[in-house]
């Protein structure tokens, strides 16, 4: 049985990048009989960046609402928020003591998010990959469906699991595997095709949010950065054209086609036709999800209750695992 664990930060509006790169995959896995799925709104990770602190509670509820609206079934899967299960933090301390400083210094995402100003970034931002390893290992997670941007953090989680097993001469933690959809599911910013689409980007025009209405989606796609050439018929023609690559990738992902097939449709055309069709398609896919988010957010008690029940189920799974770690280490429990 595969034990799937994955998380999403309540750092703002859930984006089309999150949906295509991660959530859609979670929904598919949840419906596979061989998978036992745990999905977490990682609110403790969200405060690694100061600007997220104020709106955290609402953002946590809205992120959970987006997941349910996109198809996560909180009965079939476990859906909860990280801060309600103390095992993550308890395990993270232990794992942090087995992690080398050099490993964390190699994390690309820290460098990206610290914006070259490493001394002013929070220590939490630097250390969060350890907590992410604890999130997964507290459940002995075996498979982690994430976007391509998280690959390095899963490799780190494997190193940390290996390090624990070696230190104590046990085969306790499985080495979790990243489950990444094809690389082409990395969705980039609408303003800069070389930058990943992110919830936390300061410009709302850089992303499509699951909660955007039809006019906003159409406007953002219309304004999306392009270049002045027509679209190529083959993928080779996308080299060095990040924005063209991104728009055709989003179109392909939304229409469940390959980029190759999408290019056969649009090769030789200008961006106008692609943008028009892409806007229509994005609106069609997002509309029912947005409406459901809206409905769920008018019943906050329901969302809170889902997260409470999910947290109780997550605690029941992780408590014995973390207890065994504490006993192995020799922490005295009286």
How many CB atoms are located within 10 Å of the residue 200 CB?
Answer: 14
> What angle, rounded to 10 degrees, do the helices at 271-297 and 56-69 form?
110
Give the nearer residue to ligand ATP in terms of CB position, either 117 or 171: 117
**Do 331 and 91 meet the contact criterion of CB atoms below 8 Å apart?**
no
d(CA 281, CA 223): 16
Q: Shortest distance, CB of residue 188 to ligand ATP, whole angstroms?
A: 7
Q: Which of residues 99-118 bind ligand ATP (CB under 6 A)?
A: none
d(CA 242, CA 91): 40
Please report how close the Cβ of residue 169 comes to ligand ATP at its closest, in angstroms: 33
Stretch that binds ligand ATP, among 12-20, 167-175, 263-271, 281-289 (CB under 6 A): 12-20
DSSP β-bridge partners for residue 311: none
Nearest residue to ligand ATP by CB is 21
Closer residue to ligand ATP, CB minimum distance, 158 or 196: 196
Strand ranges inside the chain, DSSP E: 2-8, 35-41, 78-81, 143-145, 177-179
Q: CA distances (Å), 234 to each of 146, 242, 257, 261, 262, in order?
A: 28, 14, 14, 9, 9
Token code pair at residue 86: 């103390």
Q: Which of 24, 57, 111, 113 is catalytic?
A: 113
Interacting residues with ligand ATP between 170 and 199 (CB under 6 A): 185-187, 196-199
The distance from CA 219 to its chain's CA centroid, rounded to whole angstroms, is 25
Q: How far is the CB of 132 from ligand ATP (least distance, A)?
A: 10
Check the annotation: does 24 bind a ligand: no
| Closer by beta carbon to ligand ATP, 165 or else 184 | 184
Catalytic residue among 24, 199, 220, 275: 199
Judged by DSSP in three states, 182 sits in coil
Among 22, 156, 263, 293, binds ligand ATP (CB under 6 A): 22
* Token output for 189: 């910013």
Instruction: Give residue for tokens 């290996």.
Output: 162
Residue 196 bears catalytic tag: yes
Query: Does residue number 11 form part of the binding site for ligand ATP (CB under 6 A)?
Result: yes
Is residue 199 flagged as an active site residue? yes
- In total, the chain counts a number of residues equal to 334
Minimum CB separation of residue 108 from ligand ATP in Å reads: 13
Run of H or E residues at 4: strand 2-8
Q: Considering beta carbons, is residue 7 or 163 the nearer one to ligand ATP?
A: 7
Would the CA dihedral through 69, 72, 78, 83 be positive or negative? negative
25 part of the interface to ligand ATP, by CB under 6 A: no
Whole-angstrom distance, CA of residue 13 vs CA of residue 200:
8
From candidates 4, 5, 8, 306, binder to ligand ATP by CB under 6 A: 8
Contact between 305 and 222 under an 8 Å Cβ cutoff? The reply is: no
**Residue 95 lies near ligand ATP (rule: CB under 6 A):** no
Does 147 count as an annotated binding residue?
Answer: yes
The Cα–Cα gap between 290 and 301 comes to 19
Which of 78, 85, 92, 146 touches ligand ATP (CB under 6 A)? Answer: 146
Question: Can residue 249 be called a binding residue for ligand ATP (CB under 6 A)?
Answer: no
Question: Choosing from 24, 140, 151, 196, which is the catalytic residue?
Answer: 196
**Which positions lie near ligand ATP, rule CB under 6 A?**
8-9, 11, 15, 17-18, 21-22, 146-147, 149-150, 185-187, 196-200
Q: Which residues are catalytic?
A: 113, 196, 199
Annotated binding site for L-tryptophan: 135
């Amino acid at each position: 049985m595969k034990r799937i664990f994955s998380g999403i930060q309540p750092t703002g509006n859930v984006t089309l990048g999150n949906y295509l790169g991660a959530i859609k995959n979670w929904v598919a896995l949840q419906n596979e009989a061989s998978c036992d799925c745990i999905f977490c709104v990682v609110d403790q990770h969200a405060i690694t960046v100061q600007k997220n602190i104020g709106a955290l509670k609402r953002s946590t509820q809205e992120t959970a609402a987006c997941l349910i609206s996109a198809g996560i079934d909180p009965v079939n899967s476990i859906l909860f928020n990280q801060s309600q299960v103390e095992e993550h933090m308890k395990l993270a301390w232990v794992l942090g003591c087995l992690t080398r400083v050099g490993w964390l210094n190699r994390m690309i995402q820290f460098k990206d998010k610290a914006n070259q100003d490493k001394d002013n970034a929070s220590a939490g931002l630097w250390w969060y990959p350890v907590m992410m390893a604890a999130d997964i290992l507290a459940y002995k997670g075996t498979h982690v469906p994430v976007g391509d941007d998280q690959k390095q953090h899963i490799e780190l989680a494997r190193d940390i699991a290996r390090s624990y097993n070696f230190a104590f001469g046990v085969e306790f933690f499985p080495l979790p595997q990243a489950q990444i959809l094809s690389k082409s599911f990395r969705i980039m910013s609408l303003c800069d095709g070389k930058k990943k689409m992110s919830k936390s980007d300061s410009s709302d025009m850089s992303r499509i949010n699951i909660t955007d209405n039809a006019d906003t989606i159409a406007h953002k796609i219309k304004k999306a950065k392009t270049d002045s050439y027509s679209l190529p018929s083959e993928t080779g023609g996308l080299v060095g054209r990040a924005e063209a690559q991104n728009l055709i990738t989003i179109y392909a992902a939304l229409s469940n086609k390959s980029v190759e097939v999408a290019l056969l449709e649009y090769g030789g055309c200008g961006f106008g036709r692609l943008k028009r069709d892409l806007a229509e398609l994005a609106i069609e896919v997002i509309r029912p999800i947005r409406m459901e988010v809206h409905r769920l957010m008018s019943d906050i008690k329901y969302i809170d209750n889902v997260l409470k029940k999910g947290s109780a189920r997550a605690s029941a799974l992780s408590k014995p695992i973390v207890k065994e770690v504490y006993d192995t280490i020799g922490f005295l429990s009286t």
